[in-house]
Amino acid sequence: MKKTARAHTNIALVKYWGKKDKELIIPMNSSLSLTLDHFYTDTSVEFKEELTADNFSLNGVSKDAQQITNFLNLVRKLAGITTYAQVDSTNHVPTKAGLASSASAYAALALAASSAAGLTLSKKDLSRLARRGSGSACRSIYGGFVEWKMGTGDLDSYAVPFQEEVDWDIRMLAIVLNDAEKKISSRRGMQTVVATSPYYPAWVKTCHQDIGELKEAIEAKDFERLGTIAEENAMKMHALNLSASPHFNYFQPETLVAMQLVEELRAAGIPCYYTLDAGPNVKVLCLEKDVAQIKAKLAEAFNQEQLLLAAPGPGAHLLA
């Protein structure tokens, strides 16, 4: 069977940054994210008897399939098959630029591949499977606000929905500064930080506290508290990178310009907050009513084409 799935990216408000098990991708701390409607990946998978190896294309271009094969081996083992597959993906999000393309990519692949192999996985097991491709992908199985419970191993490390139906007007404005592939991958960055940052134990401790407070803010629809927690958590993550050996960072000059503009907006009484993942692109958390004013301010430094607005999005689902 050929199956096609769509999964959306998510932006972590309390970040995952470091693994306690690299092979199983078990995180050092739990995380909490918001799935977004604007950025997504569509992936088709078809297992074909005539193939002698897995084939993979991304945005219509043939790519090395080794990582895809490693992931599909997990699916083949679950399904009890040995057939190779044709995998075709289209990314509606810049790849490897800190906009969570791996989250949508592996969530879509997990659903399409397992379905094409004849499996009907629960969302819990689908989340566990997606995690094996990219940690953050486990959260993209669900829509809305999602928590990745770190667990202790493969069986209990998976995402659960916290608030799938988001009934308030929270928005995220992505400022795309650079859609090129980043020089330091997330995996390499995490490994360096966990091994060398003297502040890492404090990061793990404060993330646990941040998640508890963030949940309270979401339930109360307290946007300013939510934004403050998210912004401070992001800055703590990037401080880890600067404290690592060798130290590194994902910022570019335009990153700091965007952050300053957000701070100026906030000082003027418009509630908005920034967050960044492993890349230079800044994401601005805001309310729908303030989007026009925020865009007007950001237009001082950026083109309208660089400003992409997203709302809470749905979980992974089959298209065909």
Query: Angle at CA 58, nearest 5°, toward 25 and 251?
Result: 60
- The per-residue pLDDT for 94 is 66
pLDDT tens digits along 232-264: 999 999 999 999 999 999 999 999 999 999 999
| Nearest partner of 244 among 182, 183, 198, 188, judged by Cα | 198
- The per-residue pLDDT for 179 is 66
| Nearest partner of 197 among 79, 42, 28, judged by Cα | 28
- The per-residue pLDDT for 172 is 96
Boundaries of every domain in the chain: 2-167+314-318, 170-310
In angstroms, rounded to a whole number, what is the distance separating the alpha carbons of residues 109 and 103? 10
Identify the CATH class of 2-167+314-318. Answer: alpha beta
- Cβ pair 236, 276 in contact under 8 A: no
Alpha helices in 26-122 (DSSP H): 66-79, 101-116
End-to-end C-alpha distance for the chain, whole angstroms: 10
- The per-residue pLDDT for 100 is 67
Q: Read off the tokens for 139.
A: 């959260």
- The per-residue pLDDT for 206 is 97
Beta bridge partners of 284: 173, 274
- The per-residue pLDDT for 136 is 96
- The per-residue pLDDT for 184 is 87
Superfamily name with CATH number, domain 170-310: GHMP kinase, C-terminal domain (3.30.70.890)
Segment (H or E) for 286: strand 282-287
- The per-residue pLDDT for 185 is 87
* Residues in the chain where the model's pLDDT stays below 50: none
